[in-house]
């Protein structure tokens, strides 16, 4: 008879999950507890969410958003939480039926979810936007339209609802990729804006937080499986059209992490510490100017914001 391997944390239950970055073998309960504790430690470290805060949770219906909802509903007053699901309008992806699952889970936890769609705000689905862009041979990736519009829609709801924070479910893999991309582009300002303590450049931006930024993607997947979440597993069909740089960085980081577990965590921690030393230089900057078209904040050097620019190039007028 082979003896069962005991959990390195509690020493009582059977170990079922190997965590490469710590070298520990954990039981289900201790693994879930570890993900929760690390999430809360990150939230506290940067004061991301105060107990009195009303928080808008961006819920796509994917595994990361289930984990965000689960941890937030357990550690924050659920009556101060509200979910927002945005249907992109990508054939076969994030349909209302898929989103219904996260709404059901949220309502069991006492959290209401608002449904909306890109079409509702722009008059066109993402598929239609991409088709228009391709017809004009514009070199803009679907992810750029999607990400830019989603960010704007989330911020608009946050203002209407009067919440104090918006929380997205970006994980460590996402954040490490973004950090490397910002470094490769030689863009220190974006690197700084990625930091949880980055100064807000406009009163019209509701503070965004990413509680899962130090949790690996494999961990949110494992957490979701262990908890039996019925998350959307279909891949977005634009994944192959994802910006080349991100796809390459993702592939390299994946290999690096496999050979040297803990690399992504150490990378983001180092970037955080370095950025913290320079944050003071970026305080007291003037408020971002308003876009000539929509009145929302735009960069210092551009009169028209990214949303208006992207939409006007494909001949779409939106009230956003
Ligand atoms: Zn254990
Ligand atoms: Zn604009």
- Ligand 2 geometric centre to CA of 130 (Å): 19
Residue 9 pLDDT > 70, yes or no? yes
Residue 259 pLDDT > 70, yes or no? yes
Q: What ranges make up the beta strands (E) of 129-226?
A: 165-167, 207-209
C-alpha angle 112/129/101, rounded to 5°?
A: 25
200 φψ region: left (φ > 0), alpha (ψ -120 to 50), beta (else): beta
Q: Which contacts (CB < 8 Å, 24+ apart) does range 258-264 have?
A: 261/20, 261/21, 261/23, 262/20, 262/21, 262/22, 264/172, 264/173, 264/176, 264/216
- Ligand 2 geometric centre to CA of 212 (Å): 30
Nearest to 63 by CA among 253, 212, 210: 212
- Ligand 1 geometric centre to CA of 18 (Å): 12
- Ligand 2 geometric centre to CA of 154 (Å): 15
- Cα 182 to Cα 42: distance, rounded to the nearest angstrom: 22
- Cα 256 to Cα 261: distance, rounded to the nearest angstrom: 8
Q: What is the pLDDT of residues 270-313, one digit of tens each?
A: 999 999 999 988 888 899 999 999 999 999 889 999 999 999 99
Residue whose structure tokens are 């830019």 = 148
pTM: 0.94
> What pLDDT, on the 0 to 100 scale, is given for residue 3?
75
> What pLDDT, on the 0 to 100 scale, is given for residue 178?
95
CA-derived radius of gyration, the chain: 20
Residue 320 pLDDT > 80, yes or no? no
Q: How many residues does the chain have?
A: 320
Residue 242 pLDDT > 80, yes or no? no
Q: Is 55 helix (H, G, I), strand (E, B) or coil?
A: strand
Give the ligand at the shortest distance from the Cα of 24: 1
DSSP string, 102-157: HHHHHHHTT-EEEEEEHHHHHSS-HHHHHHHHHHTT----HHHHHHHHHHHHHHHH
- The CATH H-level superfamily of 51-286 is HUPs (3.40.50.620)
Residue 261 pLDDT > 80, yes or no? yes
Q: Do the beta carbons of residue 56 and residue 163 sit within 8 Å?
A: yes
Q: Do the beta carbons of residue 216 and residue 263 sit within 8 Å?
A: no
Give the ligand at the shortest distance from the Cα of 152: 2
> What pLDDT, on the 0 to 100 scale, is given for residue 2?
64
Residue 1 pLDDT > 60, yes or no? no
* Position with higher pLDDT, 8 vs 239: 8
Assign 161 a pLDDT band (cuts: 50, 70, 90): very high
Assign 244 a pLDDT band (cuts: 50, 70, 90): confident
Give the ligand at the shortest distance from the Cα of 26: 1
- Cα 289 to Cα 305: distance, rounded to the nearest angstrom: 10
Q: What is the pLDDT of residues 163-207, one digit of tens each?
A: 999 999 999 999 999 999 999 999 888 899 999 999 988 999 999
Q: What is the pLDDT of residues 15-67, one digit of tens each?
A: 999 999 999 999 999 999 999 999 999 999 999 999 999 999 999 999 999 99
Nearest to 70 by CA among 206, 212, 173, 265: 212
C-alpha angle 196/55/49, rounded to 5°?
A: 40
Going from N- to C-terminal start, the domains of the chain cover 51-286
- Ligand 1 geometric centre to CA of 66 (Å): 23
> What pLDDT, on the 0 to 100 scale, is given for residue 267?
97
Mean pLDDT, the chain, whole residue set:
94
- Ligand 1 geometric centre to CA of 19 (Å): 12
Q: Do the beta carbons of residue 143 and residue 242 sit within 8 Å?
A: yes
Q: What is the pLDDT of residues 87-135, one digit of tens each?
A: 999 988 877 788 899 999 999 999 999 999 999 999 999 999 999 999 9
- Cα 83 to Cα 203: distance, rounded to the nearest angstrom: 22
- Ligand 1 geometric centre to CA of 270 (Å): 30
- Ligand 1 geometric centre to CA of 107 (Å): 30
């Amino acid at each position: 008879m082979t003896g069962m391997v005991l959990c390195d944390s509690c020493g009582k239950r059977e170990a079922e999950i190997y965590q490469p970055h710590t070298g520990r073998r954990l039981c289900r309960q201790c693994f879930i507890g570890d993900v929760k504790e690390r999430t809360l430690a990150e939230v506290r470290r940067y004061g991301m969410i105060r107990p009195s805060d009303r928080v808008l949770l961006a819920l796509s219906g994917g595994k990361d958003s289930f984990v965000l909802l689960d941890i937030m509903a357990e550690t924050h007053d659920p009556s101060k939480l509200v979910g927002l699901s945005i249907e992109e309008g990508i054939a076969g992806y994030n349909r209302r039926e898929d989103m219904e699952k996260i709404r059901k889970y949220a309502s069991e936890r006492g959290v209401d979810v608002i449904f909306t769609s890109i079409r509702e705000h722009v008059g066109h689905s993402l598929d239609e936007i991409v088709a228009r862009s391709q017809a004009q041979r514009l070199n803009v990736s679907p992810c750029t339209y999607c990400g830019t519009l989603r960010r704007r829609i989330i911020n608009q709801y946050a203002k209407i609802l009067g919440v104090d924070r918006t929380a997205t479910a970006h994980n460590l893999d996402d954040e490490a990729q973004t950090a490397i991309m910002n470094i490769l582009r030689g863009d220190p300002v974006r690197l700084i804006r990625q930091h949880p303590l980055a100064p807000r450049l406009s009163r019209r931006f509701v503070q965004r937080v990413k509680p899962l930024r130090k949790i690996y993607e494999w961990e949110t997947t494992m957490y979701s499986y262990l908890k039996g979440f019925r998350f959307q597993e279909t891949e977005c069909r634009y994944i192959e059209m994802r910006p080349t740089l991100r796809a390459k960085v993702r592939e390299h980081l994946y290999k690096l992490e496999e050979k040297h577990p803990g690399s992504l965590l150490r990378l983001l921690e180092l970037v955080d510490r370095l950025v913290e030393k320079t944050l003071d230089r970026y305080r007291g900057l003037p408020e971002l100017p308003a876009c000539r078209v929509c009145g929302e904040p735009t960069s210092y050097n551009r009169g028209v914001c990214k949303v208006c620019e992207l939409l006007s190039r494909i001949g779409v007028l939106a009230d956003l």
